[in-house]
Structure 1
Amino acid sequence: MHFSQGAVELKNQDWDPSQNELSVVVERSTHVPEMVFFVFSNEWVPLDALLDDKHVKIERVAPEVLGVKAQFEAGQEIRVRFERV
């Protein structure tokens, strides 16, 4: 898995192969909604995303890029679950 950050800083990136889940922690709060982008290979399909424990909408911005948009607070965890094709 590969990730790219938008206008927020990320830390504690972790891939859990048993759950096919990528998690990152937002390091800085945003004052307006921002988008964090996740780039993945064509061997994977994103299933859903959670911000802390709340489901959030994911947006496919390109075939292998998804975005999670929110007004982030420092310390929030973003988790994205994938399924192998």
Structure 2
Amino acid sequence: MMYALKRSTRKSGHSVITTLPPDVMKKLGIISGDNVEFVIKDNEVELRKAAEKKETVSQEFLKMAEEVLDEYDQAFRGLVDR
């Protein structure tokens, strides 16, 4: 089923904003605070829920890096002072 929903736009700072109808939010599976993306092709624009960023660095790696920084803190500070 296809149907059109209209919304008006308004100025907010240097941007122009609009609201998303609840039906659209439900269909896209988005809630307030989620990111969306606009896919522009020719004269059409598609609205999608933006893919969530996956964690690129594991918590284990971050813990190891913090331990190394703590262990060699004085050596690193000495390099800065050179």
TM-score norm. by structure 2 comes to: 0.33
Between Structure 1 and Structure 2, the one with more strand by share is: 1
Larger RCO, structures 1/2 (Cα 8 Å, 6+ apart):
1
Between Structure 1 and Structure 2, the one with more helix by share is: 2
